[in-house]
Amino acid sequence: MTSTRSEPSTRTDPVTSTQLTMDALVTELRTRLAAVAEGGPVSARAKHRARGKLLARERIDRLLDPGSPFLEIAPLAAWGMYEDEAPSAGVVAGIGMIHGRHCLVLANDATVKGGTYFPLTVKKHLRAQEIAQENRLPCVYLVDSGGAYLPLQDEVFPDRDHFGRIFYHQARMSADGIPQLAAVLGSSTAGGAYVPAMSDQTVIVRGQGTIFLGGPPLVKAATGEEVSAEELGGGVLHTEVSGVADHLAEDDAHALEILRDIVDTLPPSAEPATGARSEPAPPAKDPATLADVVPVDLSTPYDVHEVIDRLVDAGSVSEFKPLYGTTLVTAFARIDGHHVGIVANNGVLFSESALKGAHFLELCDQRGIPLLFLQNIAGFMVGAEYERGGIAKDGAKMVAAVACARVPKLTVVIGGSFGAGTYSMCGRAYSPRFLWLWPNARVSVMGGAQAASVLATVRRDGIEARGGTWSEAEEEEFRRPIRERYESQGSPYYSSARLWDDGIIDPAETRTVLSLALDVVTRTPLPPPARPIYRM
């Protein structure tokens, strides 16, 4: 994930072996981000430029205020999937500033299979709309798409959260006063024609933009009529005759300038409604040194206070219950002046940790303070002693408090994300406004070695119950593929490819990313409070 348009670090000061390991992961991340930023194949990009069109990311750069940051969403979506033919799932999405106002920008990449929608393209588009809806961000669609990717139509078209849901969200957001704006910079075909048709205001480029439910080949097949794309759905037709579009632009740059002018006419965005903001201060310790304190090996312990000190404003931390339930750190703090409540793992969760967490979450919710979860969780403590002590009901209290918190929630997975502990730390199922991973993160129901051990134990017990035997070699042969599968599926890239998160970020950029996000998520009013039944 790229948060700002910055160059990779060229730091040359002495580093530790721990940092070298994290640096290797960050280098791998930057390499992959650079690869997907290229878009489709060289031949497709050349053809695109030959038509006088800007590439998707160039369009976004032209649209946003010069020098302003772009908080990109899920740039590694579809990584390693669809035979590597859909970088970024064929669509670039993120939050940027237009005339000083936060907007959700979504740009089809026509160099990726003509901008058609793979299953994960749909999922990413819907995720972007969800972010816009939650945070009341105007949506700006840069349309250049051939519609659904037909070879995978069964995964794109029929279900509730497939292609049609895009237009449902557009209608509902427009009805709720969230502006929907579009520029048709190329094709807008079949169901995709509804993106501009359902927008509040639409721009189309002369001789380049086309909008039609059925293109020339379909029209000829269905009716025998032979008609060109421009005659069927070009810019002049739709701005002078049909009224489907409102503004006729001469080229990409002109269309983007018109969009900027439209955004400038919108009512001003809301002032922050949740969370106070004080004068910003730099952190006590340099965020660039996070790699010095966070080991890549998840079995190596470290003090999460060292992470917090590199993310928050110096002198802003007020820890809550520091001597109780110490495997969970809870603290009031500020990030770039934004007031936040931090919930950070510092070991396995015990009953005391969970009760402390639930207490703190309710405090923040009552006071309107946004929550930041720093997740590195192996799970809740297990064993007869802890079950007798009621760890299930105590953990449930924290899970319920997370689920019912009204304030904006942000989650960063800074290590492991395993088991039911993930639920208590605001995993994806608990609707954080944003969820990011560090490149050392691991996400799965349990570690590969643990899963292999559990399944091998069940297998061995079954064999022995039938009077059989199972050699150590046979058991290892059984365990190996399980470990390998969990290793592969636990990778942050496996997660990000499937949009289980909003992107993988460089630890050194985390503070910047969080500051940008907090500026976005704090502008919506809170719903009325609601409380579940807590089992005492």
Percent of the chain with pLDDT over 90: 86
Residue whose token pair is 């991340």: 29
Query: pLDDT (tens digit, 9 = 90+) per residue, 195-207?
Result: 999 999 999 999 9
Residue in 108, 115, 89, 111 with CA at minimum distance from that of residue 42? 111
Query: Of residues 269 and 450, which shows the higher confidence score?
Result: 450
Nearest 5°: CA angle at 354, between 349 and 359? 150
| pLDDT of 339 over the 60 cut | yes
Give the least confident one: 125-134, 263-272, 385-394.
Answer: 263-272
What's the pLDDT score for residue 7?
A: 36
Tokens of 332: 């009031």
Confidence label for 533 from pLDDT (cuts 50, 70 and 90):
confident
For 2, 48, 104, 240, 251, the CA distances from 245, given in Å and listed in that order, are 33, 23, 21, 9, 15
CA–CA dist 335, 343 (Å, integer)? 14
Give the 3-state secondary structure of residue 155. Answer: helix
Give the least confident one: 38-47, 242-251, 462-471, 492-501.
Answer: 462-471
The one-letter amino acid at 258: I
Determine the angle formed by the axes of helices 252-264 and 56-63, rounding to 10 degrees.
Answer: 40
Q: What are the start-end ranges of the E strands in 336-456?
A: 338-345, 371-377, 409-418, 434-437, 442-444
The one-letter amino acid at 206: R
CA–CA dist 184, 187 (Å, integer)? 7
Q: Which residues contact 60 (CB under 8 A, 6 or more apart)?
A: 70, 92, 94, 96, 105, 107, 142
> Are 90 and 119 a contacting pair, CB within 8 Å?
no
CA–CA dist 433, 128 (Å, integer)? 11
Nearest 5°: CA angle at 198, between 273 and 82? 90
Is the pTM higher than 0.75? The answer reads yes
Residue in 149, 218, 129, 144 with CA at minimum distance from that of residue 185? 144
Query: Of residues 420 and 275, which shows the higher confidence score?
Result: 420
| pLDDT of 15 over the 60 cut | no
Give strand pairing partners of 180.
Answer: 139
Burial of 329 (0-12, 13-18, 19+ CB in 10 A): buried
Give the helix, strand, coil percentages of the chain, each rounded to 5: 45, 20, 35
Give strand pairing partners of 339.
Answer: 334
> Are 69 and 5 a contacting pair, CB within 8 Å?
yes
Confidence label for 10 from pLDDT (cuts 50, 70 and 90):
very low
Q: Quick one: average pLDDT of 310-338?
A: 98
Q: Which domains, and CATH codes, for the chain? A: 17-264 (3.90.226.10), 287-441+504-521 (3.90.226.10), 447-490 (no CATH)
| pLDDT of 4 over the 50 cut | no
Residue whose token pair is 């636990």: 490
Give the least confident one: 131-145, 260-274, 495-509.
Answer: 260-274
Q: Quick one: average pLDDT of 128-133?
A: 99
Q: Which residues contact 306 (CB under 8 A, 6 or more apart)?
A: 285, 293
| pLDDT of 17 over the 60 cut | no
Give strand pairing partners of 71.
Answer: 95
Confidence label for 257 from pLDDT (cuts 50, 70 and 90):
very high
CA 94 to chain centroid: 9
For 143, 431, 447, the CA distances from 405, given in Å and listed in that order, are 36, 10, 29
Give the 3-state secondary structure of residue 333. Answer: strand
**H or E segment and range at residue 520:** helix 510-521
CA–CA dist 414, 438 (Å, integer)? 5
Give the 3-state secondary structure of residue 470. Answer: coil
Burial of 175 (0-12, 13-18, 19+ CB in 10 A): exposed
Tokens of 110: 């026509």
